[in-house]
Structure 1
């Protein structure tokens, strides 16, 4: 439906790209094309609404222009915009049933409390749902409209956070949050075996020949293991960010431009890059840690608990001594050890905690970045609290 709507949009002149004409085109397409009739009318309207919202986001500079959605790079989803027909019933401690249009009664795993039965009301009710399919199967997510009380200011202390690869999150008070491998040894061996099998089957495929069902099944099993690893990573991020938001009132992070950090070192034919394989491995490690997603979670979770999140400039935080402020590349004796080269100081300690303390110091000295007109501006505080009040 999205791709057909996008094709219609590109073919029509600008003066005819209106919501009314697009709605009429969808209605005509549902009469002419059989497989579109299977889609509920409400879900088709949700696609139209999402498509126009995507163009609004593009015109206002918040996102790129909408494009065609490919089967392999897009999550399959069906929206149920109205919640009054769902008829959710809890049949067991861990299971519930929901009525899906044109599908019927479907059992789902009950993982979170929902406002159903006596708990439902005008201010606390289910307004819709969305069906999604990934490598692990089908999932349903419910949209819940509720009344939340504005939280009181968080009384917790300030904390600076330094993100890394060896130590994912290092806090200025000495706390660290680490995780192991997302897949077990057995699962990693299985993933390697499946990848080798897929490479062999792909090598025997002739040019232009369709992918065999065996190769598709192998790809599905590979995607299932990777989806399992991603789900475990998300679970760790949610639990970690929730613990930080509940403990600290002000969270300070670095304003990292991650897209520039993961650029390829391959170079060009005239000027080939150096250490390409090492840089590729570093880029994969940075992408797996998903620092941007961690900051996004901290942003809304700190606000939910009455706290605030601030960003400070990133340059120099790992090379600056948190005790005397002396900055030089030689301070980083190794990846984990920081030794100040200032002869009058000589402080030594963990490099990650040193960077986190520098991050917090930048915020306390008024170097917080404030977004204004699409760019970051340094705001300097007029008065700094004395050390005893911190």
Structure 2
């Protein structure tokens, strides 16, 4: 039986005391500073990039000369160098969407610390709900056990943990385990084909005339609490003199806003996981639009010479698009369909919502919000606009981005290596 390597990440919440939080905060800020020092050293070397050996020697010298650099474990410091070099490799790869590496700001960067070697973790399960893990310089820490980890549970999945990364979010520190397993190659999925139109009024409309919808991510009381916190932060910003650092009260308000938004995000991700799993189990080929989301959420503010129109309306639309996280839905579908022997196909987006799937007549006036009425006198089809768009997506030809079969490819088309001339 053919086996394939499967790499997955498993995220768990850490249960830390105040001293351990301070240790991890110090390590994360040291790692961020080390990134900035590497960026300065790497890019300002008399007109040439520094070599890997030079960067490694500079890190070793800095750890001996600067006391606070010792907060970061040596292996985590080497992981920063590896990540930084990979960022440049991604930037120079013409098929990779990565941007040029830049300095990391203290308030705008995500706090992370790498634990690259699994042997340092010493993971152990202590009961049904909790496990323990060893974190360098922080000691033994409990984490929430919500899923069996490969190679650590009797009768559980076979495999191993290859490392971890510590990530700080609005609700505290989390650990992301890197898990590796060898599983049988999936057989070809024999389910039907479907097209999916992603929207705001209807989250997912399928070409079989069904829909996948969700309610608000926050309750009415939570939304009102968030609204009051945002008004409070606005008042606190108005009373702060220009150039003054953020006060502790304003920082506390920002933290409360971040926690409320993190709750909404967790619920959104949970719904996306459940929905994409159901779709990957049911359908063999899933077609979606190849959306350029970065262009879609571009501000309409314009310039002083050419001011934009309907700026507030466009800003609200951008927030709604960002809240649906369409790109994350497609990413989840890609690896889940690949694991089940199916595939995801991206089709061109223009015209799918304005074209009648019955007769092919294309006119912007065909659609009126969620109602589609074909203006072709020989057709006259009437139905839900999102269902019509999903049928057009299902009928279109596109580029497979994941899965197996004659149409499939194992990686995104834009991440394929360039062909030889």
TM-score, normalised to structure 1's length? 0.90
| Residue 174 (str. 1) matches residue 216 (str. 2) | no
Q: CA deviation at 1:373?
A: 8.6
Checking the alignment, whether the CA contact within 8 Å between 2:150 and 2:180 is kept in structure 1 is no
Give the paired residue count.
371
Q: Which residue of 1 aligns with 2:305?
A: 270
Checking the alignment, whether the CA contact within 8 Å between 1:162 and 1:169 is kept in structure 2 is yes
Residues 97, 116 of structure 1: CA spacing in aligned structure 2 closer, same or farther, 3 A cutoff?
Answer: farther
Q: CA deviation at 1:375?
A: 11
Kindly provide the CA deviation profile for residues 30-70 of structure 1, in whole angstroms up to 9, marking residues without a partner as x.
11222210111110111010000111111113211111112
Q: Provide the aligned C-alpha RMSD in A.
A: 2.2
Among candidates 210, 220, 226, match of residue 191 of structure 1: 226
Among candidates 356, 366, 370, match of residue 390 of structure 2: 356
Residues 199, 15 of structure 1: CA spacing in aligned structure 2 closer, same or farther, 3 A cutoff?
Answer: closer
| Residue 306 (str. 1) matches residue 337 (str. 2) | no
Q: Which residue of 1 aligns with 2:112?
A: 77
In structure 1, list runs of 5 or more residues that go unmatched: 377-390
| Residue 50 (str. 1) matches residue 83 (str. 2) | yes
Q: Aligned partners of 1:150, 1:132: CA distance in 2, in Å?
A: 32
Q: Which residue of 2 aligns with 1:35?
A: 68
Residues 120, 143 of structure 1: CA spacing in aligned structure 2 closer, same or farther, 3 A cutoff?
Answer: farther
| Residue 140 (str. 1) matches residue 175 (str. 2) | yes
Moved more, 129-138 or 309-318: 309-318
| Residue 4 (str. 1) matches residue 4 (str. 2) | no
Among candidates 319, 331, 337, match of residue 366 of structure 2: 331
Kindly provide the CA deviation profile for residues 164-218 of structure 1, in whole angstroms up to 9, marking residues without a partner as x.
1100110000121111111111111111111122222222212222221111111
Q: Which residue of 2 aligns with 1:89?
A: 124
Q: Which residue of 2 aligns with 1:128?
A: 163
* Regions of 4+ moved over 3 Å: 13-16, 116-121, 369-376
Q: Aligned partners of 2:146, 2:211: CA distance in 1, in Å?
A: 29
Kindly provide the CA deviation profile for residues 249-301 of structure 1, in whole angstroms up to 9, marking residues without a partner as x.
00011111122222222222233222121111111111111111211211111
Kindly provide the CA deviation profile for residues 67-104 of structure 1, in whole angstroms up to 9, marking residues without a partner as x.
11122222111100000121111111010001111111
Kindly provide the CA deviation profile for residues 222-250 of structure 1, in whole angstroms up to 9, marking residues without a partner as x.
11111111111111111111111111000
In structure 2, list runs of 5 or more residues that go unmatched: 1-33, 402-411, 417-421
| Residue 109 (str. 1) matches residue 144 (str. 2) | yes
| Residue 209 (str. 1) matches residue 239 (str. 2) | no
Q: Which residue of 1 aligns with 2:404?
A: none
| Residue 229 (str. 1) matches residue 264 (str. 2) | yes
Q: Which residue of 1 aligns with 2:377?
A: 343
Kindly provide the CA deviation profile for residues 303-327 of structure 1, in whole angstroms up to 9, marking residues without a partner as x.
1110011111111111111122222
Q: Aligned partners of 2:133, 2:298: CA distance in 1, in Å?
A: 45
The 3-state SS of whatever aligns with 2:182 is coil
The 3-state SS of whatever aligns with 2:118 is coil
The 3-state SS of whatever aligns with 2:321 is helix
Residues 72, 109 of structure 1: CA spacing in aligned structure 2 closer, same or farther, 3 A cutoff?
Answer: same
Q: CA deviation at 1:13?
A: 3.2
Checking the alignment, whether the CA contact within 8 Å between 1:89 and 1:116 is kept in structure 2 is no
Q: Which residue of 2 aligns with 1:380?
A: none
Kindly provide the CA deviation profile for residues 351-371 of structure 1, in whole angstroms up to 9, marking residues without a partner as x.
111110111111xxxx32368
Q: Aligned partners of 2:276, 2:229: CA distance in 1, in Å?
A: 34
Q: Which residue of 2 aligns with 1:22?
A: 55
Kindly provide the CA deviation profile for residues 101-151 of structure 1, in whole angstroms up to 9, marking residues without a partner as x.
111100000011113446599x71111111110111010111112102110
Among candidates 399, 405, 416, match of residue 369 of structure 1: 399
Q: Aligned partners of 1:181, 1:129: CA distance in 2, in Å?
A: 33
| Residue 253 (str. 1) matches residue 283 (str. 2) | no
Residues 162, 17 of structure 1: CA spacing in aligned structure 2 closer, same or farther, 3 A cutoff?
Answer: same
Q: Aligned partners of 1:19, 1:375: CA distance in 2, in Å?
A: 25
